[in-house]
Amino acid sequence: MTASFTLRPAALGDVPTLAAFQCAMALETEDHTLDEATVTAGIQGLLTHPDRGRVWVAVDEADACIGTASVTFEWSDWRNGTFWWLQSVYVLPPWRQRGVFSALYQTLREGALTDPTGIGLRLYVERDNARAQRTYAALGMRETDYRLFEEEFPKG
C-alpha cells in the first residue's frame, strides 16, 4: 500500500493532537509521563511565537495528523548563524517506515538551507534509542563530540 500524506505547517487546531503525540513519544522512548496541560501550553507557545521555531505536521487524506516535527532556533556566535534544532518528532506507529519522517526532515532541512542565517540542523536523541539514531544517520546526520548537560528550574 502506498502511503498517501501531505505536509503542512501546524495550526492551533492541531494542538490537542500534537500534545497527545508528545506524551506518547515520551512514554514510548523514555518511559516518562508528561503533564499534558504543560505540553499543550508549550505547543501553543511555539505556534503563537514563530520567532521561537516552527512546527510541521504530516496529514493523511482526511487532514488527520499522522506525524510531526518541530524546530527551535539557536544563535551561534562561533559561526555567526542559526542552528535549527529538530525536536518533538513523532509518527503514529501505523505510518512508520512509510516516508513520513523523511518528508518532515527534508522540509525542515530545506527551511534551514533557505534561511539566510541557517547553518545546520541539530537534535538530541535518547542514548538508548538506536532505531532513531540509525534513522538520523541514514538522513546524513552525524553524532557530535558534545554531551548535553542541563539544570532544570522548577516552575511555579
Give the model's pLDDT for residue 126.
87
- The one-letter amino acid code at 89 reads V
Separation CA 84–CA 100 (nearest Å):
19
Residues 101, 95: contact at Cβ < 8 Å? no
- The one-letter amino acid code at 127 reads R
Confidence of residue 1 (pLDDT cuts 50, 70, 90): very low
Does position 156 have pLDDT exceeding 70, yes or no? no
Q: What is the DSSP string of 31-75?
A: -----HHHHHHHHHHHHT-TTTEEEEEEE-TT--EEEEEEEEEEE
Residues 42, 49: contact at Cβ < 8 Å? no
Strand-pairing partners, residue 86, are 71, 123
| Closest among 122, 93, 99, 96 to 24, alpha carbons compared | 93
Any idea where the domains of the chain sit in the sequence? 6-138
Domain 6-138 homologous superfamily, CATH: Gcn5-related N-acetyltransferase (GNAT) (3.40.630.30)
Strand-pairing partners, residue 82, are 75, 118
| Closest among 23, 98, 90, 83 to 56, alpha carbons compared | 90
**Tens-place pLDDT, residues 5-31:** 999 999 999 999 999 999 999 999 889
**Tens-place pLDDT, residues 69-91:** 999 999 999 999 999 999 999 99
Separation CA 16–CA 23 (nearest Å):
11
Rg (CA), the chain: 16
| Closest among 15, 151, 37, 153 to 88, alpha carbons compared | 15
